[in-house]
Structure 1
Amino acid sequence: MSDSPADPTLADDLAVALTLAAEADLIAMDRYRSQDLGIQLKADKSIVTDADTRVERMIRAHLEKARPHDAVLGEEFGSAGESRRQWIIDPIDGTSNFARGVPIWGALIALAIDGVPAVGVVSAPALGRRWWASTGRGAWVQHDGGDARPLRVSAVAALEDATLSYNNLQTWDQYGYLDRLIGLSRAVGRTRAFGDLWAYMLLAEGAIDIAGEFDVKPWDVAALVPIITEAGGRVTTATGTERLDELSVIATNGVLHDEVLERLRG
């Protein structure tokens, strides 16, 4: 059943998401490396900056006009509305990097329909890159405002030739997977910890082959899913489900996925 007289097409939704990303980039870059950046500690001990809240407020205000029938879930201001169409927003993924002047951060903007991410945009202006995808229309990357090019994951088929990015060791330990991660690291050819959105976009570009982490929320994951899957990869939780609320994410080039999950099961 439609939530409005005529549900938008995914092409229209993607256009909205790209517009939001461009506006988010302007707001965030204006505050990046600012001497008067406002930083606060949240209840979960993570930090939030005035750039995070400004970006999310802008996105919500825009969606209220452009998609008034849709629901919104954002990291900073929670859930609003009820609809089978839900926008899922992380205004700045990598806030700690942003606050310390590390350029690996960006806006994550997704649209999930019936709980399945169908549109994803990841925009990292300090890196000069933006990635996007919508279901059935491929995944794309743009460098420094140039022409978009299609994304494709790697064809690496053996763990011994693969590169793994594991992000935060502490959370692998917290969730009881550190020993399994160490075992996986011994099987692959190379390990790195690129962190946050960067690892997953490198995967979609075919530069690495496996990425994963724990203690993630839906807004950390939703935008990544269409980009990786449309590039030919696969995204699940550590237990192999496709839920967005299970606090873990494992992404691969697809070929390696089952073997990676098997090793993580111990």
Structure 2
Amino acid sequence: MVEYSLQQDLQFALAMADKVDALTLARYGSNDLRVETKPDMTPVSDADRGAEELILAEIAAHRPDDSVLGEEFGVHGTGSRRWVIDPIDGTKNFVRRVPVWATLIALLIDDEPVLGVVSAPALSRRWHAATGLGAFVTEPGTEGARRLQVSQVSELSDSSLSYASLNGWKELGKLDDLLELLQAAWRTRGYGDFLSYALVAEGAVDAAFEPELELYDMAALVPVVREAGGSFTSIAGVEGCHGGNALASNGKLHGAILPYLNRG
């Protein structure tokens, strides 16, 4: 088996993101976009499937010993190096021509997320990180990549929080606790999907949380948040992206937020 450095894997992931961005942007807003409803009642477009097929082909050609988990086509291979892919995070936005959507590409080694690329071409922004290499964003009007750093806000009353899915929190029996948490903050918004976590890494938002997520929704975001100095756990406080939900913060607020999400 060929061994690769994280820097090599990161460059490979960024190159894949370039190719996927070209495909998804070409389909975004197109009049002939084909959209179906999956068994879980969420939409999927031909762009979702085409993007994942492109990534699968790239990995098969350049990382043939690695395994893959993708939202649309499931598991391929059994290698301990596993690429985890969400071809379009925010498909509901994509099909409604809302520009907040992104391709998420993560590499997990022995189930630990070590690399993440979050590419949002309709916003002209891309976030990337790898363990020990820092977290960065490329954006319009800047030359090169800007290194990310989470905020230093340490009081909940001074915090800006991003939440998602009031119905999801209600189904967990945690809606009243969530509302109490939001009322304790300085500012609250539902930026949604990947963007909430990217903004935590940028220091623009202090914490973000969601009640129900899949591995492919989170894996690419963990290195971005962590390498920017933040914390990423489940709402029960378990480190990483395997808990079925998420709390990401600047680290300073993690301990203050967890009790609101774990009552009862």
TM-score of the superposed pair, with normalisation by structure 1: 0.96
Q: How does 1:1-266 map onto structure 2 within 5 Å?
A: 4=1, 6-144=2-140, 146-266=143-263
| Distance in 2, Cα, partners of 1:119 & 1:175 | 30
Query: How far does the alpha carbon of each residue in 1:207-232 deviate from its partner, in whole angstroms, 9 at most, with x for none?
Result: 01010112210000000000000000
**What is the alpha-carbon root mean square deviation over aligned residues?**
1.0
CA distance in 1, matches of 2:239, 2:218: 11
Provide, for residues 97-148 of structure 1, a one-character-per-residue CA deviation record: whole Å limited to 9, x for no partner: 0000100001000000111100000000000100000000100000138410
Contact kept, 8 Å, 2:115 with 2:220, in 1: the verdict is yes
Superposed CA deviations along residues 163-183 of structure 1, whole A, max 9, x for unmatched, are 111021111111222111111
Q: CA deviation at 1:203?
A: 0.8
In structure 2, stretches of 5+ residues that fail to align are: none
| Structure 1 residue ranges (4+ consecutive) displaced by more than 6 angstroms after TM superposition | none
- CA deviations 1:214-259 (Å, max 9, x no partner) are 2210000000000000000000001111253322111000010011
CA distance in 1, matches of 2:240, 2:160: 25
Q: How many residues in Structure 1 have an aligned counterpart in Structure 2?
A: 262
Residues 217 and 104 (structure 1), Cα distance of their counterparts in 2 relative to 1, 3 Å cut: same
TM-score, normalised to structure 2's length? Answer: 0.97
Quote the Cα distance in structure 2 between the aligned partners of 1:50 and 1:235. Answer: 32
Letter in 2 for 1:203: V
Aligned-partner Cα distance in 1 for 2:173–2:118: 29
Deviations 1:25-70 (A, max 9, x none): 1000000000110000000000000000000000000000110000
User: Is there any run of 5+ residues in structure 1 with no aligned partner, and where?
Assistant: none
The one-letter amino acid of 2:37's match is L
Match of 2:243, SS state, is coil
Question: In structure 2, what residue type is equivalent to 1:33?
Answer: G
- Calculate percent identity across the aligned residue pairs: 47
* Inter-partner Cα distance in structure 2 for 1:130 and 1:108: 10
Checking the alignment, whether the CA contact within 8 Å between 2:232 and 2:240 is kept in structure 1 is: no
SS of match in other structure, 1:16: helix
